[in-house]
Structure 1
Amino acid sequence: MKGTIGQSKVSRRNFLVGAGTLLAAPYVLKGKALAAGQVVVRTPGGAYDDIMRKFVYDPFTAETGIQVVPVAATVSKLLAMFKANNVEIDLIDTGEGPLITLSRMGALAPIEYDKWTWSRPEDVAPEYRRPDTVANFVYSSVLAFNTETFPGDNHPKNWVDFWDAEKFPGPRMLTDMAAGSPSLEFALLAAGVKKEDLYPIDIDRAFKMLTELRPHIRKFWDSGAVSAQLLSDKEVVMGCIWNGRLQTIIEKGAPLNYVWDGNMIQVQALGIFKDSPNRAAAQRLVDFMTQPDVQAKYVAALRYGPTNLKAFDHISADLLEMMPGGPKSRELGFVQNTEWWEDNRDKVNRVWSRWILG
């Protein structure tokens, strides 16, 4: 499969828990804008805001008169805001994990699916819908390889091949705990576990597989930038990497490719603070953002994948084939079980901390 998704505009690092961005201020609009209403949105910031402004925020304002104010805030800031009963943000746009944490604290309002007018809830894939969150796009961790080291069809085609250092020799990379989660799912796929049986993760078995491959791992990467650099510099000849990071270096001429087999689909989602000052406006923005034609535009610009399956009807055929969460990605991959990770993160972190020093 050719790696021709297109350049990702946004770093996945911006979406990780604990990103060091402070709450932007001041952000309250005054005058006419305030009279028409507003919704304050927590976003990752940077280029992401530019894309969403063009394809979501400005069109939403043009249609409703409601101004959208993007601000950046860490997860700790969101938690502190809720605990202090001082909620200043309406809509939260972040990784699924932090939203699960907020949900368990009782911080989120139900998504009013029954009031949607622009979108149809049933068009959003069931695994992307929860009572108080809904995913707005997905990305994938894929198996990438160097095409000079592995020319033609002689390359690793799945995670079983990735673990076969005799058949496919060379230095490898996998994720560090600091990147969000270590590559336990890929280790189990290499052990022969079927993707539908990955959860609950057999932690001991996964770490046994990691131990087996560890002599061939050059680096456990902790950021998208590091993973891209390792592949670009040929310090490693294969490894897991976020699809957007990979595509950026492919378009710069790096001799790399990837396979969809065993790709792990990961989720960016929306949630609304139950004590939101502009809760009704936030509900309308979620509905607007999820409609197929709008979602198709911003995911194409981000080079990630939509969650409304009808959005694929608005995406070109060449992009459709290579889009995370698309037909091929969904057929050959699996959706990461974020609930399991939130339940077991501390346990895995303890095991990882001992194992990585061993």
Structure 2
Amino acid sequence: MTETTVSTRLGRRLLLGTALAAPAFRMGRAQATNEVIVRTPGGAYDDIMRRYVYDPFTAETGIRVTVVAATAAKLIAMFRANNVELDLIDTGDAQLMTLERMGALAPIAYDRWRWSKPEDITPEVRKSHRVGNFTYATVLAYNTDSFPGDNHPKSWADFWDAGKFPGPRMLSDIASASVNFEFALLADGVPRERLYPIDVDRALSIMSRIRPQIRRFWDTGALSAQMLSDKEVVLGSIWNGRLQTLIDRNAPLGYTWNEHMIQVQALGIFKDARNVEGAQRLADFMMQPQVQAQYAKALIYGPTNERAFGLLTPAEIARMPGGENSRRLGFYQDIAWWDANRDRVSRAWARWLLR
């Protein structure tokens, strides 16, 4: 969920990409305390969060929430220009790690939480300067017309077996945030607990074996969903929420939870934000189990407050990553490794694509 779309529903907006040196609006400190400006992925996500988080938060506190869309590059540019026009950042954990490394984020004020309990948050996503507000997953999807019944791939080794499971495929591009190197290594027999540090040369060599069957490397969740929906591909990696939406619309698609990669959407707060206190309160409000259960169910992603799972039905939990079964079958992506090696991987990936 890291691609950015601008919601036409939004009223007052920051034109972040056009004039960082000339802010879209100015506000006094008193006005700032009555509003929290949140970076979100945009689109339908905003509608869901407005219903289950923002409007209830405003009703509880009197603080209104304004949402804007901004890429990771724009967030970095704002900080470097000393022109922070956002308070709370809701984005992929990897993007927040980059901002944290730059010194852009304030510590999460766990000691002042009043609605949520820090000890209820999954330890893997509870960090000093960022906190995961839900998990999503990249899963192995397939077309059920092409692979009916139980005759479908059940692992990434199966995905790489084009003889047994023929047809055009897709995997992610570096522009989507990361390449599916982890899946290549799993296909080659590397255990989940030994994926990191990633052997880049080995991963690229394994990628070369399946490259003739790859129709396209997707760079957005929308593109991956479209390719599966249009049957441009019959196998591929995709974010579970994008896939489940298609399945719920009766698309002939299925997936396996085996060897899925758990990823994290997280909250961070600009240390130089106009309303740091309001942003801290909104983060606290958003992490409540009853609040998380509502928006996680709507998004088809997994809550990070462990108590939220008790408010969901077994059928709802079965559609979500992050729970006990998910952690047994999948693995958390190591974003620290990706943050430290992204430039090197980007160069190697670009060279490999030109071969």
Displacement after TM superposition at 1:78 (Å): 2.0
Code of the residue aligned with 2:53 in structure 1: it is V
Distance 1:344 1:250 in 2: 35
Instruction: Describe the superposition over 1:139-195 as per-residue Cα deviations: whole angstroms up to 9, x where unpaired.
Output: 111001111221111111011111112222222211112222111000011111111
Asked whether the equivalents of residues 4 and 69 of structure 2 are also in contact (C-alpha less than 8 Å), the reply is: no
Instruction: Describe the superposition over 1:213-261 as per-residue Cα deviations: whole angstroms up to 9, x where unpaired.
Output: 2122222222222222222222222111111221222233321100000
Partner of 2:88: 91
Structure 2 unaligned regions, length at least 5:
6-13, 18-22
Code of the residue aligned with 1:72 in structure 2: it is A
Distance 2:92 2:169 in 1: 27
Instruction: Describe the superposition over 1:294-349 as per-residue Cα deviations: whole angstroms up to 9, x where unpaired.
Output: 11111111121111111111112211112122232221111111111111111111
Aligned with residue 180 of structure 1, among 177, 181, 192: 177
Asked whether the equivalents of residues 94 and 336 of structure 2 are also in contact (C-alpha less than 8 Å), the reply is: yes
Displacement after TM superposition at 1:74 (Å): 2.7
Partner of 1:216: 213
2:3 aligned counterpart, secondary structure? helix
CA RMSD in angstroms comes to 2.2
Is 2:141 aligned against 1:130? no
Displacement after TM superposition at 1:36 (Å): 6.8
Is 2:53 aligned against 1:60? no
Partner of 1:7: none
Code of the residue aligned with 1:240 in structure 2: it is S
Partner of 2:308: 311
1:249 aligned counterpart, secondary structure? helix
Displacement after TM superposition at 1:69 (Å): 1.9
Code of the residue aligned with 1:262 in structure 2: it is E
Residues 264/289 of structure 1: CA separation in 2 closer, same or farther (3 Å cut)? same
Residues 36/162 of structure 1: CA separation in 2 closer, same or farther (3 Å cut)? closer
Partner of 2:199: 202
Partner of 1:357: 354
Aligned with residue 16 of structure 2, among 17, 23, 28: 23
1:13 aligned counterpart, secondary structure? coil
Distance 2:233 2:72 in 1: 33
Partner of 1:169: 166
Distance 1:285 1:206 in 2: 41
Specify which structure has the bigger relative contact order, considering alpha-carbon pairs within 8 angstroms and separated by 6 or more residues. 1
Residues 346/86 of structure 1: CA separation in 2 closer, same or farther (3 Å cut)? same
Partner of 1:114: 111
Partner of 1:245: 242
Give the stretch that moved more between structures: 56-65 or 256-265: 56-65
Asked whether the equivalents of residues 22 and 74 of structure 1 are also in contact (C-alpha less than 8 Å), the reply is: no
Displacement after TM superposition at 1:119 (Å): 0.9
Residues 197/26 of structure 1: CA separation in 2 closer, same or farther (3 Å cut)? same
Structure 1 unaligned regions, length at least 5:
1-10, 16-20
Aligned length: 342
Is 2:253 aligned against 1:256? yes
Residues 254/12 of structure 1: CA separation in 2 closer, same or farther (3 Å cut)? farther
Residues 236/276 of structure 1: CA separation in 2 closer, same or farther (3 Å cut)? same
1:93 aligned counterpart, secondary structure? strand
Distance 1:182 1:329 in 2: 21
Instruction: Describe the superposition over 1:52-108 as per-residue Cα deviations: whole angstroms up to 9, x where unpaired.
Output: 111111111211222222222232332222222222211111111221111111111
Aligned with residue 326 of structure 1, among 315, 323, 326: 323
Partner of 1:8: none
Code of the residue aligned with 1:299 in structure 2: it is A
Instruction: Describe the superposition over 1:115-156 as per-residue Cα deviations: whole angstroms up to 9, x where unpaired.
Output: 112111121111111110001111111001111221111111
Distance 2:44 2:226 in 1: 21
Displacement after TM superposition at 1:35 (Å): 8.7
Partner of 1:339: 336
Asked whether the equivalents of residues 22 and 72 of structure 1 are also in contact (C-alpha less than 8 Å), the reply is: no
Distance 2:199 2:121 in 1: 30
Distance 1:139 1:330 in 2: 12
Asked whether the equivalents of residues 173 and 217 of structure 1 are also in contact (C-alpha less than 8 Å), the reply is: yes
Distance 2:246 2:337 in 1: 32
Give the stretch that moved more between structures: 168-177 or 292-301: 168-177
Distance 1:274 1:256 in 2: 44
What is the TM-score when the length of structure 2 is the normalising length?
0.90
Distance 2:216 2:73 in 1: 29
Partner of 1:14: 4
Asked whether the equivalents of residues 22 and 73 of structure 1 are also in contact (C-alpha less than 8 Å), the reply is: no
Residues 232/80 of structure 1: CA separation in 2 closer, same or farther (3 Å cut)? closer
Percent identical pairs in the alignment equals 62
Partner of 1:283: 280
Code of the residue aligned with 2:174 in structure 1: it is M
What is the TM-score when the length of structure 1 is the normalising length?
0.89
